[in-house]
Amino acid sequence: MAAFVARLRKGDEVAHLVALLFGLVLILLTVLIFFELARNSSLARARFGWRFLFTQTWDPVAGQFGAAPFIYGTIVTSAIALVVAVPLGVGAALFLAELAPRRISDALTVMTELLAAVPSVVYGLIGVSFVVPLMRQYVQPALARVAGSLPLFTGPAYGVGYLTAGLVLAIMIVPFIVSVLREVLLAVPRDQREAALALGATRWESTWRVVLPYARLGVFGAVFLALGRALGETMAVTMVIGNRPEISASLFAPGYSMAAVIANEFTEATGDLYLHALVEIGLVLFLLTMIINAFARILILVTTKRGTA
């Protein structure tokens, strides 16, 4: 005991304990969130079981709840956002880190970080007042003309819907990808580039085949950070997605997302089953985020092994 106290007096041990405590708080928070979500969704889980994940009906009057349209909407909009934002973000970050003159790069980086800090409701307003009319009048009719034979681009052009929500999400997450990725690319050692150039590679070859693969961990990190934001985004999505709990093949169709339905219906939800169904959607969203994070870890592990072998 005396030895322990003596050790405690040394700053290192105290710092160690304090840091450990703070670390434990993170774990405790995660467990607590999971526990609370599980506890407050017990009624819905008992009533609907696994069917909850696969049924499409969301009828608060009849007390029938199925989360499939919301899960589908969250995944589809996030996927659209990634498809658009990743090439854009990687390209912009490459330009800022590799090609642009220092002064331009710094100025643009400040702008990017400003964009990343804009509250999502502002993006929602931009979505409603600018993106939605643009989609309805120009983009959707054009897509329907060019690719109308695909079921993805059929149906009436409302302006709001999966595609618009995905695009607004893309606009929101590009700044995240760019600002993280630029830092990552700048951290790639100079001798990597010089070695590639010395071997006769062009500037582009050195960037594409040496710098980017070297930084791929950071690329994954940036993409999954952005994906996390897209999955959980509430306000901007609900303003432009159309809020219709229905699975449609067409990306023009109005849809719904998990975060949006919780925000929309929680305040006025009466009846225990209704509340529990909403909390269960929160639980599903929480688990989906965890699964995607785990998937990211595995992807990183696999690719690092291959890279170093």
Partner 1 sequence: MPLMLYLRSSLLPMIVASMIACGGSAPPANAPAAGASGARTTVTGAGATFPYPIYSKWFDEYHKRHGDVEINYQSIGSGGGIRQMLAGTVDFGASDVPMTDEQLGQAKTKILHFPTVLGAVVPTYNIAGVTQELKFTPAALAGIFLGTIKKWNDPGIAGPNPGVALPAADIVVVHRSEASGTTFVWTDYLGKVSDAWKSKVGANAAVNWPVGLGGKGNEGVSGLLKQTPNAIGYVELIYAVQNKLGYGSVQNSSGAFVKADLASVTAAAAAAATSMPDDFRVSITNPGGAAAYPIASFTWLLVPAQLPDATKGKTIVDFLKWILADGQSMAAPLSYAPLPKEVVAKEQQAIAQIHAGS
Residues near partner 1 (CB under 8 A):
57-62, 128, 132-133, 136, 156, 158-160, 238-239, 242-245, 254, 256, 260, 263-265, 267-271
Minimum CB separation of residue 74 from partner 1 in Å reads 16
64: tokens are 């029938």
Number of Cβ within 10 Å of residue 147's Cβ equals 11
Taking phi first (over 0 means left), then psi (-120 to 50 degrees means alpha), and beta for anything else, what does residue 101 get?
A: beta
CB nearer to partner 1: pick between 2 and 62: 62
CB nearer to partner 1: pick between 69 and 218: 69
Q: Which residues pair with 58 in a beta bridge?
A: 65
Would you say 158 and 252 are in contact if contact means Cβ atoms under 8 Å apart? yes
**DSSP collapsed to 3 states, 150-168:** CHHHCCCCCCCCHHHHHHH
What is the distance between the alpha carbons of residues 170 and 189, in angstroms, rounded to a whole number? 30
Minimum CB separation of residue 140 from partner 1 in Å reads 13
Minimum CB separation of residue 274 from partner 1 in Å reads 9
Minimum CB separation of residue 286 from partner 1 in Å reads 22
Minimum CB separation of residue 240 from partner 1 in Å reads 10
DSSP-derived pairing of the beta strands 58-59 and 64-65: antiparallel
Would you say 215 and 185 are in contact if contact means Cβ atoms under 8 Å apart? yes
CB nearer to partner 1: pick between 63 and 151: 63
CB nearer to partner 1: pick between 194 and 272: 272
CB nearer to partner 1: pick between 136 and 193: 136
Report in angstroms the alpha-carbon separations of 88 from 115, 168, 178, 226. 15, 14, 9, 13
CB nearer to partner 1: pick between 58 and 176: 58
Q: Which helix (H) or strand (E) holds 65?
A: strand 64-65
Q: Which helix (H) or strand (E) holds 246?
A: none
CB nearer to partner 1: pick between 91 and 156: 156
What is the distance between the alpha carbons of residues 266 and 262, in angstroms, rounded to a whole number? 5
Minimum CB separation of residue 158 from partner 1 in Å reads 6
Minimum CB separation of residue 162 from partner 1 in Å reads 13
Would you say 206 and 195 are in contact if contact means Cβ atoms under 8 Å apart? no
Minimum CB separation of residue 103 from partner 1 in Å reads 41
**DSSP collapsed to 3 states, 80-148:** HHHHHHHHHHHHHHHHHHHHCCHHHHHHHHHHHHHHHHCCHHHHHHHHHHHHHHHHHHHHHHHHHHHHC
CB nearer to partner 1: pick between 60 and 221: 60
